Amino acid sequence: MCETTVHCLEVTNVQNFETFQHPIVLLKGKVSNRCADAKLQVFSKQHQSISYSATIEDGVKRDSPGPVNFRVLLRLNVGQNDIDLVYCVGTKSLTLRYTAPSNRYTVVPLYIICAGHTGHYQSYDTDKENDCVNACRKITLSIELLQCLYAEKLHENGFGRKTFCIGSSCVPFSSSLELERSTTMTEGELWQHFASELVQCREYDLKRVKIVAFLSSTRFEGISDGDYSYENIRKKTTGHAALGGGGLALFGTGCLYTWPTTLEAVCDAFSSQRPVDCDILLDDSNYRRTYGGCYATTLGSVCHEMGHTFDLGHTPDSSIMGTGLDGIDCVFVGSRAAAGPKRLIETRPYGPSGKLTQLKRPGDVFRERLESKCNDGIFFALNSAVTLNHHRWFNYNVDNPDDNGSAMLHYAQSTRTITSTDSPIVLVELRLTSNGMMEKFWTFPRAKCPTSFTIPKLPTFVDRTLFAMNAVGCTLKIDLSSIN
């Protein structure tokens, strides 16, 4: 413990006495001087059990004076939380409140088990806890982390900490699909099958529930030919998916072995440099080949594909709906090494909304502005943030009169005009139909949102989809090439 050094703690992203509607919160801040041996700790003044994960960024050498950044992931108890952040002899007191939200529109995570499968996900040989129970714990925790991430990123865009409501913890879902049959299906076929099965089972009202599902039987057969390219890895993997749209986002579990089961382990999981044994275990890390890289890339993929279920298209930048998914660990543990090569977006459509695989490096103004504002470089582009801000899944206690979004928005082909009844238009986008890439968009000042908007005349509407949203979350999607 230091006797002469002063350690002043400052929290930069959260105000004292703030109220949250999601249980896991992210605290970002600075310590005036680094201590060689100290760890950042969190204590409850109410002597409540408290779960957290903390990290100090490697901005300076351990024995060098000077300010350093920290991040804390903290699980709040319902009601008032009086806490102390303690670093060596420095203390910062905060009072934070958590109010459990109520929303008719929810997200529900599921762990899909095919007929004939045990429910054990593929893992390393010494892992004796790769069963259904621990899989559901991992999934629930990570969806809660994404709930926190969405809230933080909307806050950084100036919309407050809006986020989706989790309807329940992850539970198993027994599918009628035979395991052997599932191994021969593409990810698009798997998505279509489980989407149909979920509709037919009628257990979930898919007008008000988005399903985030994970397939237990993902299997990587291993590499024996020395070819560790991503293309070869995918060829040797069955039961894999990373696809989202409509009411379902579907994922494989090939890298679930790298996901933590407790909040206390999250920062270590993201920071883990443990090498992946690529001969026997799936490596989906964008060529980082570490456990931390796999966790970051696969959780980033979940974040991205969930965005599609919230009506987000692709964006030509390094945002979450662009190339930013591999670096999602930066949100939780701060700066770290590069996340591998940039992705590109294919021009072929995959499934309901296009599949992120490759994207050229952009130079757009929004990325540069937001990266300078947000010190982790992870963000939603403006059009994505506007969509989420008005989306029904992100607005609690709002009585939306109409569940059919197209009923309040209309498009007149002859005049290229969109009209909205009883609510102003907040966003209009033109997307490429082939891959869901945003090509142009229009947003409006809050006080001047129109009730009608005419799309400027373009040389062609071939391969163009119109997306529009009004202030109460009603949406309109039209394939313009099919009507022009």
Q: What is the mean pLDDT of residues 273-298?
A: 95
Tokens 């490429």 locate to 432
Question: pLDDT by residue (tens digit) across 241-265?
Answer: 999 999 999 999 999 999 999 999 9
209: its two tokens = 């529930």
Residue 469 has pLDDT above 70, yes or no: yes
Question: pLDDT by residue (tens digit) across 131-175?
Answer: 999 999 999 999 999 999 999 999 999 999 999 999 999 999 999
Q: Which helix H or strand E contains 219, and what residues bound it?
A: strand 219-220
pTM over 0.75: yes
Write down the pLDDT at residue 382: 96
Where b means 16+ CB within 10 Å and e means fewer, 79-101 reads: eebebebbbbebebebebebeee
Spans of all domains in the chain: 8-98, 106-333, 406-479
What is the DSSP-derived secondary structure letter of residue 455?
A: P
Q: Radius of gyration over alpha carbons of the chain, in Å?
A: 23
Confidence of residue 101 (pLDDT cuts 50, 70, 90): confident
Largest CA distance in the chain: 77
122: its two tokens = 């593929």
Write down the pLDDT at residue 274: 96
Question: How many angstroms separate the Cα of 200 from the Cα of each of 194, 197, 206?
Answer: 10, 5, 11
CATH-assigned architecture of domain 406-479:
Sandwich (2.60)
Residue 118 has pLDDT above 60, yes or no: yes
Question: pLDDT by residue (tens digit) across 397-454?
Answer: 655 555 544 458 999 988 999 999 889 999 999 999 999 999 999 999 877 889 999 9
Q: Do residues 8 and 42 lie in contact, with contact meaning Cβ atoms separated by under 8 Å?
A: no
Residue 204 has pLDDT above 80, yes or no: yes
Percentage above 70 pLDDT, the chain: 87
Distance between alpha carbon 234 and the CA centroid of its chain, in Å? 22
Question: pLDDT by residue (tens digit) across 418-434?
Answer: 999 889 999 999 999 99
Taking alpha carbons only, the member of 120, 141, 115, 139 closest to residue 131 is: 120
Q: Do residues 299 and 142 lie in contact, with contact meaning Cβ atoms separated by under 8 Å?
A: yes
Identity of residue 392: R
434: its two tokens = 């082939």
Tell me which range, 216-230, 262-276, 459-473, is most confidently predicted by mean pLDDT. 262-276
CATH numeric code, 8-98 = 2.60.40.10
Write down the pLDDT at residue 339: 54
Write down the pLDDT at residue 366: 46
Q: Do residues 38 and 87 lie in contact, with contact meaning Cβ atoms separated by under 8 Å?
A: yes
Residue 46 has pLDDT above 90, yes or no: no
Question: pLDDT by residue (tens digit) across 309-335?
Answer: 999 999 999 999 998 999 999 999 997
The backbone torsions φ and ψ at residue 118, rounded to the nearest 5 degrees and listed phi first, read: -75, -20
Residue 290: CB partners within 8 Å, gap ≥ 6? Answer: 272, 273, 274, 275, 276
The C-alpha atoms of residue 254 and residue 287 are separated, in whole angstroms, by 15
Write down the pLDDT at residue 459: 76
Write down the pLDDT at residue 175: 97
Taking alpha carbons only, the member of 306, 420, 416, 314 closest to residue 357 is: 314
Q: Do residues 70 and 129 lie in contact, with contact meaning Cβ atoms separated by under 8 Å?
A: no
As beta bridge partners, residue 237 has 220
Write down the pLDDT at residue 369: 44
Confidence of residue 362 (pLDDT cuts 50, 70, 90): very low
Write down the pLDDT at residue 340: 59
Write down the pLDDT at residue 400: 54
Tokens 């109460």 locate to 472
Question: How many angstroms separate the Cα of 183 from the Cα of each of 24, 90, 119, 284, 357?
Answer: 36, 55, 15, 19, 22
Write down the pLDDT at residue 58: 63
Taking alpha carbons only, the member of 159, 147, 209, 102 closest to residue 389 is: 159
Write down the pLDDT at residue 349: 38
Write down the pLDDT at residue 457: 86
Q: What is the mean pLDDT of residues 173-189?
A: 97
Write down the pLDDT at residue 99: 95
